[in-house]
Amino acid sequence: ATYGEGDPTDNAAEFYQMISDQDLDLTNLNYCVFGLGNSTYEHYNSTGRFVNKRLLELGGNRILPLGEGDDDSTLDNDIIEWKEQLWPKVCTLFGLDGSDQDINMRQYNLEELEDPDMSKVFTGEVTRLNSYLAEKQRPPYEPKNPFMSHMLVNRELHKGGDRNCMHIEFDITDSRIRYDAGDHVAVYPCNDQKLVEDLCVLLDKKPDTVFRLTAIDSYASKKSPFPCPTTYRTALTYYVDITSCPKMHVLKEFLPYTHSEEDKTKLELMTKTTMEGKAAYQEYVVKNFRTVNHILQDLPSCRPPLDYLLELLPRLQVRYYSISSSSKAHATTVHVTAVVLQYETPTGRVNKGVATNWLLPQVPSDDKHYSVPLFVRKSQFRLPIKSEVPIIMIGPGTGIAPFRGFLQERDVAAKKGATVGKTVLYFGCRRKAEDYLYQEELESYVASGLLTVSARESRGD
């Protein structure tokens, strides 16, 4: 996958560096590559393209042309079509029977514990790692070792309207976390408790039942999909994604657990790789923003076991936000500017963003036990090294976030006597009276001569 300015993802960085720097002999390697990207970005799928080319240079045998998935368009279809070419190649290469047999392969066995030792039961992501305990935290802080930050500020930026936009400040005092204007902060969110409890009701499970999932394959490197033993509530809250549209392969696994012919026919159509099947999936699931809860509500005879659903659903991912501050002005805090996502779907339901709706009601307090796990991810988005270089910034809405950090940095430089080049911001909002973000701050920079602003409304009178 490619993110940012053509960079590999965090979990691929070490591999990317290895094949870039080392003169490896891969003459015995058979390989194929599928790249994930977004065509709206300049460096579309550059990581996948590089890996595909580099493995060939190192002597690898490419068994299939590069596949590319476009997250801005038909990503699921791109993957399905590429896999249809992949498996016959793999079967031929290894002399396997390529007959088209659908096999339901469970990876884990379920065991529900009637009298568990609660001191050994995992109760959430915050207790998964020893480093999450405040008294045991040690840098460096990264995806597997996030810093438990205390929220200092959570204030509303919108002056009116029906939306919320949060300005949040996280405390990083004594963390040794260093960041630059333009970097990102990653936040570990939690799923909404109502969605969690609704899903348990749909699948007839008590949310606080303690269970364990154990790998069927005794040689499997991953003994369980997440820390066990745990509860259904914990797994659904912290570990799996229940708010995204389920993929076609997940719906296919629902078929054996669907009893109504009408429901089964609908599912079967949506899991076919034909043009008709893909269109049905797009119409029913994607265009209507149906989540797994919605599908189970709308197909009442579809009732897969909850433990199998926990196998099938993807892991809940961290959310990245552009840092809206400069460490030169705020060395002990990280600022975030985020609109709270909430929208009505064509089916009349209201979908909510996971992280922003989790953060919205949080009130800063002196309670250090209620914290937000986070880490900083470096970016290549930077101010010019020389402050005298003029810059033009274009940031509608929360797109202003990194530029607020840039402005703070230039303001610090100017106050220290440095020459600061012309700094121009083009900002857009719906209505200045409602959602002109950081208006007072920007006006103060204009008054000091640091900034020139051109602000426009899209829905003003």
Cβ atoms < 10 Å from Cβ of 297: 16
Mean pLDDT of 163-182: 96
pLDDT tens for 406-448 read 999 999 999 999 999 999 999 999 999 999 999 999 999 999 9
Strand partners, 171: 150, 333
What phi and psi, each to the nearest 5 degrees, are found at residue 263? -65, -40
* Residue 371 CB contacts under 8 Å (≥ 6 apart), including other chains: 126, 134, 148, 149, 150, 151
The span from the CA of 50 to the CA of 446, in Å, is 44
Domains defined for the chain, CATH in brackets: 2-94 (3.40.50.360), 134-188+318-377 (2.40.30.10), 192-312 (1.20.990.10), 391-457 (3.40.50.80)
Cβ atoms 375, 170 nearer than 8 A? no
pLDDT at 270 over 80: yes
Residue 393 burial (CB count, 10 A): 18
User: In angstroms, rounded to a whole number, what is the distance separating the alpha carbons of residues 70 and 67?
Assistant: 10
**358 band by pLDDT with thresholds 50, 70 and 90:** very high
Question: Residue 111: in which H helix or E strand, if any?
Answer: strand 108-112
Find the angle CA(314)-CA(71)-CA(48) to the nearest 5 degrees.
Answer: 90
Q: Is 44 exposed, middle or buried (0-12, 13-18, 19+ CB in 10 A)?
A: middle
103-112, 202-211, 419-428: least confidently modelled range: 103-112
Beta-carbon contacts of 431 under 8 Å, excluding residues fewer than 6 positions away, are: 160, 161, 457, 459, 460
Pairing of strands 34-37, 61-62: unpaired
Query: Looking at residues 274-286, what average pLDDT do you find?
Result: 93
Euclidean distance between CA atoms 9 and 3, whole angstroms: 6
Round to whole Å and give the CA distance between 300 and 277. Answer: 21
Bridge partners (DSSP) listed for residue 211: 112, 230
Q: Is 336 helix (H, G, I), strand (E, B) or coil?
A: strand
Query: Could you tell me the pLDDT band of residue 273, with boundaries at 50, 70 and 90?
Result: confident
Angle between helices 46-57 and 13-21 (to 10 degrees): 40
